[in-house]
Structure 1
Amino acid sequence: MTRKYRLTVAAAALSCTMATPLYAQSVTVSAEELSAMRAQLSAMNARIDQLEGELAAAKAANDAQDATIAAQAEAVAAIPAPKEPTTKISWKGAPALEGEGGWSFKPRGRLMYDVGFTSAPEPTGREDGFGNEVRRARLGVEGDIPGGFGYKFELDFAGNEVEAADAYLSYSDGPLEIIVGHQNNFQSLEELTSSLHTTFIERAAFTDAFGFERRIGASATYKNGIVLAQAGLFTDNFADTESKNRGADARFVLMPKSGKTQFHLGGSIHYNNIDDPAATVRYRQRPLVHFTSERFINTGNLAADSEFGLGLEGAVVSGPFHAAAEGYWQKVNTPGAGADPTFFGGYAEAGIYLTKGDTRGYKSGKFDRTKPANPVGSGGIGSLQFNLRYDFLDLNDAGILGGKQDAFLASLVWKPTAYTLFALNYGALKYDDAVYAAAGGDTSYTVDAFGLRAQIDF
């Protein structure tokens, strides 16, 4: 409302008041009174102007405050929200860390303690009785590196010495994996199955007798559907890098499934060029357990130019039941015109879980970890598995009399959890042409062996 408008209204009101007839009496307003009234109106207008100014100032201040609050809100909204943690931690027997960009890291290790005894005929004069050892005590790490690379490194501290186990760098691209470093050759289902997941505390006799071991080299693995193909070129292991050994290995496996039944059929080929006129090979084996140093079959040292091996593998896993069998032929190319000996080893086994819901693990052409359906700590007793095996090793051929071993083995394996294991083994090992004679020169006799293992890994 403008000042001119307010004066007009006031004057009109005053005129009406003065013009209104007063029937009770006549009112006369003097000039002084009119002047006073006008002064009051002027004062009122001035007060109204003042209040309007104060209101405008208050509104301006309020608008400024609103603008400031809005600007602050926009600034707060522009601040990026804190990122969620990019490192994921899971538990796989030990903490497994997965970082941004494809990094991962996991410590790994295993501890196996064996105890038991062997019983050999007394006339052989061989040391037997109680024995025990730390079979394996490994620590290491594994993980992934951005770009498809990976790594694995383990040291074994058992046996009062430090040895490298796996120590390699890998690269994966879809179905193809390339590995460079200290690694397993591609010989035998039993050899490639981790010692954590075997059904007996020691592998089949031929794997140790024929010297299957990790070696330094480069390999490639192709896995697509039911097909697994592996090949590599190798020198020798970390402890024998001064040797001139050069070898090649290849393995082919079919892994079809029918329902929940897993089948395995494979074969392998091995060649090792020794390339040292002074080099020799020796094939021998212990009676089941490793804590004894006695070997009742032994070819002794043989001059050799090279080794050539062929292996066949078969297995099936169906619910609680599994069966496996292998055969392996190892030919030694010796210098000179004499016949080259070919030695043979193999086994057949069957096993069954006595606990409901448990089955033997299998993955990528080898047996894998069994995870009890009802582990201890979750209301169950873990898994209990019973196994029988016939294990044969023949080190007699082409005039070499290294002996024969027929082993009849049984094992009971209890896994309270996926990462703990207790195993009881018994073996009756029948020898023919043993290298140690009993009474009267008899080289055919039986050695008994018992072994108990306590194991944990992460």
Structure 2
Amino acid sequence: MTRTRAIATAILTVLIGAGTGSALFAEDAPLASGGDSAVWAADATGPFADDASHSAEGAEPAGYYDMPEPPAEDPLAELQQKFDALASEWEDHKEELDKKAADAKKKPTFHIGGRIHLDYWSFPHASPGIGFFEHSDPGDADFGADPEDAFRFRRIRLEMRGDILETMNYRLQIDFAAPGVGEMKDVWVGFKELPGNQDLRIGNQKRPLGLDHLNSSRFNVFLERPFVIETFNSDARRLGITMYGNNSDDSLGWAYGVYNLENIKSDGEYRGDSLQLSGNARLFGSPWYDQTSGGRGYWHWGIAGMVARPDGDSGPVDENSNEARFNTRPEARSESSWLDTGRIAGAEWYEILGFESIVNVGPVQVTGEYQLNWVQRDNTGPDLFYHGAYIYVGYFLTGEHIPYNRGSGTIGRVKPFENFFLVDRCFGGHGTGWGAWQVAARYSYLDVSDADVLGGVGHSITGALNWHWTAYSKLQMNAIYGEIDEHAAVGGFTEGDYFIFGARVAIDF
């Protein structure tokens, strides 16, 4: 019996190998200390010798149970060894990443972006006067003809931006919406992190005047900007130099700079003996910004000013044009400006003062601006005063909100709670996501008629429906009713009214 148990012990030891603990069967079969798992016998006959001969001796042969003891392995030690190996590999990887980051700072960075805005515009109603404001040249065959419906690309922009090492940056943005003509938008180089928490930009850039102009066209609630914004800061961008700054918690910000008045988007240069400069400044703040809700509640205020020196005496032989002109389209993409002072003869100076405000509470936003414009002339005619304003209310039916950028004092990108999608389900039916839905209404007013310069007085009401498919794509629709009066007579008409419908598919990347 004893020998049978010994044989079984030896077989089990061979099967479980060196990985088992040495305590198994310790009472009856002590294990030897070695690496071999074979059973060592004390004589030539081995474990299969005659039972009687061994039992007569009364004891098992010496060394009968001796066999090598498997090495004792500590699982925790093995785990620690693997952990140390992983830690070493991670340190090597981190050093490689740090080296790449350090090398990257030695080279300018490069990022590509862009946007596509495809519009449809329809003019289902236009009174006779509107046709003459749209086609106002008596020498043209379509003089006085009604505005025509149109599909058109409003914007096709590509941009490149990045950093030049650690203290400079740049942006290059070109619009290709006009066939065969590339138009400069933002083309500037900058110095960042200057003393006083300020940045400096030199080049073609937006002048700090008018909240709705400073808001990106990617984020604006309506298809086109209000009368007053386009009139007093047409196209916004000019060649100049701007300093931007903020206080430590971004509750207060400012921008100021000097610019040339002429829009050089198509030819990239200004020529003329008169510099035609303007000085601009903007101060803004957000005394209430609800950090707890992620910025779903805030109040923005701002005040901006501009002092400009146009060349009111420029003539046909001058290479520069008189930039004292205030004009705008009907908050839609018509061919011509329907409110237009023309170039104001004798204009020597003009000053613009603007006020802006946003109140946002969750899905509701109320925004408005008011701007005043004083024009001083020489003895060509009396001084002039123009002004305009707008207010709008927006509401998200699906509960989202319009974010706010405290650093720039502008609105940001809407992010739907759920993106729009429509797909087939694996087990039948369809899966859908609604995206974000917003409705908005705007009233806009502009008066650019005074004394002998009659650009017209405009009133406009716009209703908007915006369907945000994703944070980077949307469908916008506007319905616009407007009236114009006190306009200089064109074809015998000084007033008119209109109804316009517009739609846009917009994406950006």
TM-score by length of 1: 0.75
- Distance (Å, rounded) in 1 between the aligned partners of 2:355 and 2:191: 28
Unpaired segments ≥5 residues, structure 2: 1-87, 132-143, 291-295, 315-320, 422-430
Matches within 5 A, 1:254-293: 254-259=285-290, 260-275=296-311, 277-278=313-314, 279-280=321-322, 281-290=324-333, 292-293=334-335
Q: What letter matches 1:171 in structure 2?
A: F
Match of 2:498 in 1: 447
Letter in 2 for 1:121: S
Amino acid at match of 1:172: K
1:299 and 1:218 mapped to 2: Cα distance? 28
Residue 230 of structure 1 corresponds to: 255
- Give the distance between the partners of 1:367 and 1:214, measured in 2 at CA: 19
Tell me if 1:215 matches 2:246: no
AA aligned to 1:231 is Y
Kept in 2: contact 1:432–1:443 (CA 8 A): yes
Cα deviation for residue 151 of structure 1 reads: 0.9
**d(CA) in 1 for partners of 2:341, 2:100:** 54
Q: Which residue of 2 aligns with 1:29?
A: none
CA 1:268–1:87: 2 relative to 1, 3 Å: farther
Measure how far apart 1:456 and its partner are.
Answer: 0.9
Q: Does 1:108 align with 2:108?
A: no
CA distance in 2, matches of 1:366, 1:321: 16
| Shift in alpha-carbon separation, 1:180–1:294, aligned structure 2, 3 A | closer
Distance in 1, matches of 2:452 and 2:380, equals 13
How far off is 1:376 after superposition? Answer: 2.4
User: Structure 1 pair 99/413, CA: closer, same or farther in 2 (3 Å)?
Assistant: farther
Number of equivalences: 369
Question: Contact 2:105–2:166 at 8 Å: present in 1 too?
Answer: no
**Aligned equivalents of 1:327 and 1:122: distance in 2?**
31
- Taking the aligned partners of 1:151 and 1:426, their CA distance within structure 2 comes to 38
Deviation at 1:297, TM superposition (A): 2.4
Structure 1 position 276, deviation (Å): 6.0
Contact residue 328 and residue 339 of structure 2 kept, 8 A: yes
Are the counterparts in 1 of residues 105 and 165 from structure 2 also a CA contact under 8 Å? no
The CA distance in 2 between the partners of 1:99 and 1:417, in whole Å, is: 32
User: What amino acid sits opposite 1:255 in the alignment?
Assistant: S
**Structure 2 CA distance, aligned partners of 1:102 and 1:242?**
36
Q: Evaluate the alpha carbon distance shift between residue 87 and residue 318 of structure 1 in structure 2; reply closer, same or farther with a 3 A threshold.
A: farther
1:250 correspondence with 2:281: yes
Match among 178, 194, 201 for residue 179 of structure 1: 201
Are positions 1:120 and 2:126 aligned together?
yes
Deviation of 1:277 (Å): 2.3
CA distance in 2 between partners of 1:295 and 1:168 (Å): 29
For 2:391 and 2:404, how far apart are their aligned partners in 1?
A: 18
Tell me the percent identity: 27
Q: Which residue of 2 aligns with 1:346?
A: 389
Q: Secondary structure at the match of 2:416?
A: coil
Question: Structure 1 residues 324, 337: CA separation in 2 closer, same or farther (over 3 Å shift)?
Answer: same
Instruction: Give the match for residue 192 of structure 1.
Output: 214
Change (3 A) 1:121 1:113: same
Q: Is 1:296–1:434's contact at 8 Å kept on the other side of the alignment?
A: no
Instruction: Give the match's secondary structure for 1:159.
Output: coil
Query: Which structure is higher in strand share?
Result: 1
CA distance in 2, matches of 1:417, 1:99: 32
- What are the equivalent positions in structure 2 for 1:52-201 lying under 5 Å apart? 81=92, 83-85=95-97, 99-100=104-105, 104-118=109-123, 119-122=125-128, 124=131, 125-160=144-179, 161-173=181-193, 175-201=197-223
Residue identity in the other structure for 2:252: V
Separation in structure 2 between the aligned mates of residue 320 and residue 267 of structure 1, nearest angstrom: 25
Relative distance call for 1:116 and 1:346 in structure 2 (3 A) is same
Distance, in Å, in 2 between the alignment partners of 1:436 and 1:132 is 30
For 2:162 and 2:432, the matched residues in 1 are separated by: 33
Counterparts of 1:251-400 in structure 2, within 5 Å, are 251-259=282-290, 260-275=296-311, 277-278=313-314, 279-280=321-322, 281-290=324-333, 292-303=334-345, 304-336=347-379, 338-356=381-399, 358-363=400-405, 364-377=408-421, 380-400=433-453
SS of 2:213's equivalent in the other structure is helix
Over 3 Å counting, the alpha-carbon distance change for 1:86 and 1:415 in structure 2 is farther
Shift in Å, 1:302 = 1.2
Does structure 2 retain, via aligned residues, the 8 Å contact 1:86–1:100? no
CA deviations on 1:147-203 (whole Å, 9 max, x unpaired) are 321111111111221111101112221721111111100101011001111111111
Query: Which secondary structure state, in structure 1, belongs to the residue aligned with residue 504 of structure 2?
Result: strand
AA matched with 1:209: T
Distance 1:262 1:297, change over 3 A: same
- Can you list the C-alpha shifts for 1:313-360, whole angstroms capped at 9, x where unaligned? 11111110101110111222222163211111210111000113x101
Tell me the residue number matched to 1:8: none
Distance 1:301 1:234, change over 3 A: closer
Change (3 A) 1:88 1:427: farther
Could you say what secondary structure the match of 1:339 adopts?
coil
Instruction: Measure, in 2, the Cα distance between the counterparts of 1:330 and 1:424.
Output: 31
Q: Equivalent residue for 2:470? A: 417
CA-to-aligned-CA distance 1:340-391 (integer Å, 9 cap, x gap): 11111210111000113x1012102011111112112596322111110001
For 1:250, the aligned partner's letter is A
Q: What is the alpha-carbon distance in structure 2 between the residues aligned to residue 371 and residue 401 of structure 1?
A: 44
Q: CA deviation at 1:415?
A: 1.1
